[in-house]
Amino acid sequence: MNNTSRTDWVRVDAMNDEDIDTSDIPPLSEEFFAKAQLRMPKSGLTITVKVDPETFAWFKEQGETAEQQMAVALKIYAEAHKAYPGSEAKST
């Protein structure tokens, strides 16, 4: 699978705020800010999990955020499986 970005990041990095077209984004009203709530992410748990060496090596090759990427991958997997009946954890 090739997930290489086709975005011209050099051009994007060189842009100033004035160069960005935001005309399709409606302005936020005072009502929006009156109802807005700050939501902080929940603190994560620190656990120990056995991972096969090849999988761990792949995540480490992605850079310094390997642990964060593994946590995101697990969250995406869990969310995807919530949609399927019978995928809930079974009590023993």
Kindly give the residue spans of alpha helices, DSSP state H, lying in the chain.
Answer: 9-14, 30-35, 53-61, 66-82
pLDDT at residue 13, as a whole number: 93
Banded model confidence at residue 85, pLDDT cuts 50, 70, 90: low
pLDDT digits (tens, 9 = 90+) for 11-58: 999 999 999 899 999 999 999 999 999 887 788 888 899 999 999 999
Contact 68, 41 (CB under 8 A): no
pLDDT above 60 for 87: no
Contact 29, 35 (CB under 8 A): no
pLDDT at residue 64, as a whole number: 83
**Domain ranges (residues) in the chain:** 44-85
Q: Which two tokens stand for residue 13?
A: 């990095």
Contacts of 24 (CB under 8 A, 6+ apart): none
pLDDT at residue 86, as a whole number: 64
pLDDT at residue 45, as a whole number: 86
* Its pTM surpasses 0.85: no
Tell me the one-letter amino acid at 42: K
